[in-house]
Amino acid sequence: MSKLKAVILAAGAGTRMKSELPKVVHKILGKTMLDYVIESAMEAGADDICVVIGHEADTVKEAVSYDVEFVLQEDQLGTGHAVMQAKDFIGDEGNVLILFGDTPLISEDTLTKMVDYHIRHDNAATLLSTIVEDPTGYGRIIRDETHTFIKSIEHKDATDSEKMIREINSGMYCFDAKELNEALKTLTNDNAQGEYYLPDTLKSIMAKRLNVNAMISDRHEDILGVNSKVQLYQAGAIMQKRINFKLMENGVTIMNPSNTYISKDASIDTDTTIYPNNHIEGKTTIGKNCIIGPNCRIVNSDIGNNVNIDGSTVLESCIGAHTTVGPYAYIRPGSTIGNHAKIGDFVEVKNATIGDYTKASHLTYIGDADVGNHVNFGCGTVVVNYDGVNKNRTIIEDNAFIGCNTNLVSPVKVDKSAYTAAGSTITKDVPPYALGIGRARQTNIEEWVKRNR
Ligand code: UD1
Ligand code: CA
């Protein structure tokens, strides 16, 4: 197959977003609109991608997660002018997709169909069109009686009868690279908007008697452009549905997909149940047979099989199989929780490793600690990891038992099978099998109440 490249236009300001951020870096489910378009282009087989930037160019550049080329369009003089800036990238070999950075719903599927259509019909240019209820504002596709493509005309340049046409130009194309570059040289800005229109390249390509065609797609959603925060939400709702339905088709139970927010990059295995109001972000993986109870936020984390997480936040951490988390647990970055462990209510774990079968059932802080297997944390344990200057590490070996309300002043080690007495402030290492007690002894003052009250 011949080489496929893509040029993505992203130089416009997007004033209707009413935002200081350039339009294409606004996010849907944690990913910028531009990254979605880049991904679809890559998935459809584009090896090289060039993004045309202009408005807030540096911000757009920094926001892109992929290795792409950038060209600058200093003044936004139209879609044709934008593509001209990429003429060296386009070159004279193979085919090139032209896409917009603000149509995040364009799918691999539609692009692949367009490329196949382009090749099958031996086209020099293929325009992606669709039929909509209200074509206002869009370029219209003009065809003759035999339904043959004649031209694409901009709304502002169209006659009243042309404005009645409901087949619209999506703005996306597949071009033969060499023919596109030659046609760009012929563009003028002699039109209602004084812009260099990309669709005008089709005229000069047709004048060479080369094949130009519009492929009608029935996936309207794919060409939906985002111009405002309302449209950002609308595109987001469609993206959310696509992601969630795909997961459901692959065997995940999602109770209410309109109330469940899962990143495109997350993967979830079969027979896992996702309750409503969960936010599963970034490159999170979740195993089989898990129950993700309501109200969880899980970010860039790996969750094993048979895990139950309820009403909790898990950030950049790993959770082993058969472990339960929550409700109201907070697992902060850099934590690794073992298998069959329990992290209960109001437990915070930060940058810590916690072994298999270890339990911290309630009201505990475990920060900067390495905890072994079968350790039990009594209620109210605090790992005192910060002395005001440095963060120190605490070590708790296998089978240790931490009594309720223990302070473990780091750096400190509780050795294997050792106990700490409830209410202790442990400042010295506790040897294996020892009981560490660090608290004042109780004194009872006889008859005190009678004398004082
Ligand atoms: C364009 C098409 C129209 C099509 C519509 C679909 C032209 C002349 N018209 O119109 O036929 O129906 O898209 O949405 O192509 N951009 C730049 N630099 C520029 C101008 C635009 O990078 O100088 C980018 C914008 O940031 C945007 C995209 O190109 O992402 C489309 O530009 P826009 O001005 O919205 O084109 P439309 O007038 O909507
Ligand atoms: Ca537009």
The pick from 84, 100, 131, 162 for probing ligand 1's pocket by mutation, whose C-beta has the most ligand atoms within 8 angstroms, reads 100
Query: How many helices and strands (H and E) does the chain possess?
Result: 10, 39
Q: Report, in angstroms and rounded to the nearest whole number, the Rg of the chain calculated over CA atoms.
A: 31
Residue nearest to atom 13 of ligand 1 (CA): 171
Q: Of the ligands numbered here, which is closest to the C-alpha atom of 74? A: 1
Q: What is the pLDDT of residue 285?
A: 98
* 362: annotated active-site residue: yes
Q: Which value, to the nearest 10 degrees, does the dihedral of the CA atoms of residues 14, 18, 23, 29 take?
A: -150
Q: Is the CB of 140 under 6 A from ligand 1?
A: no
Q: How far is the CA of 34 from the centre of ligand 2 (A)?
A: 15
Long-range contacts at 373-379 (CB < 8 A, ≥ 24 apart): 373/338, 373/398, 373/399, 374/398, 374/399, 375/399, 375/400, 375/401, 375/402, 376/400, 376/401, 376/402, 377/402, 378/402, 378/403, 378/404, 378/405, 378/406, 378/422, 379/404, 379/405
> Which 8-state DSSP code applies to residue 440?
P
Q: What is the pLDDT of residue 2?
A: 78
Q: Is the CB of 12 under 6 A from ligand 1?
A: yes
Q: How far is the CA of 27 from the centre of ligand 1 (A)?
A: 20
Q: Of the ligands numbered here, which is closest to the C-alpha atom of 227? A: 2
* Ligand 1 atom at minimum distance from 154 CA: 11
Q: Is the CB of 52 under 6 A from ligand 1?
A: yes
Instruction: Look up residue 343 and give its amino acid.
Output: I
* Ligand 1 atom at minimum distance from 11 CA: 22
Residue nearest to atom 33 of ligand 1 (CA): 79
Q: What is the pLDDT along the chain (453 residues), one digit of tens a residue?
A: 579 999 999 999 889 999 999 999 999 999 999 999 999 999 999 999 999 999 999 999 999 999 999 999 999 999 999 999 999 999 999 999 999 999 999 999 999 999 999 999 999 999 999 999 999 999 999 999 999 999 999 999 999 999 999 999 999 999 999 999 999 999 999 999 999 999 999 999 999 999 999 999 999 999 999 999 999 999 999 999 999 999 999 999 999 999 999 999 999 999 999 999 999 999 999 999 999 999 999 999 999 999 999 999 999 999 999 999 999 999 999 999 999 999 999 999 999 999 999 999 999 999 999 999 999 999 999 999 999 999 999 999 999 999 999 999 999 999 999 999 999 999 999 999 999 999 999 999 999 999 998
Q: What is the pLDDT of residue 1?
A: 58
Return all residues near 444 (Cβ < 8 A) that are at least 6 apart.
none
Q: Of the ligands numbered here, which is closest to the C-alpha atom of 99? A: 1
Q: Of the ligands numbered here, which is closest to the C-alpha atom of 154? A: 1
Q: Is the CB of 171 under 6 A from ligand 1?
A: yes
Q: Is the CB of 154 under 6 A from ligand 1?
A: yes
Q: Is the CB of 82 under 6 A from ligand 1?
A: yes
Q: Is the CB of 73 under 6 A from ligand 1?
A: yes
Q: What is the pLDDT of residue 105?
A: 98
CB-count burial class (<10 Å; 0-12, 13-18, 19+) for 146:
exposed
* Ligand 1 atom at minimum distance from 82 CA: 18
Q: Is the CB of 22 under 6 A from ligand 1?
A: no
* Ligand 1 atom at minimum distance from 81 CA: 23
* Ligand 1 atom at minimum distance from 100 CA: 30
Q: What is the pLDDT of residue 156?
A: 95
Q: What is the pLDDT of residue 315?
A: 99
The two structure tokens encoding residue 72: 């600058």
Q: Is the CB of 405 under 6 A from ligand 1?
A: no
For residue 248, the SS3 value is helix
Q: How far is the CA of 225 from the centre of ligand 2 (A)?
A: 6
**Contact between 325 and 331 (Cβ < 8 Å):** yes
- What pTM, to 2 d.p., does this model score? 0.95
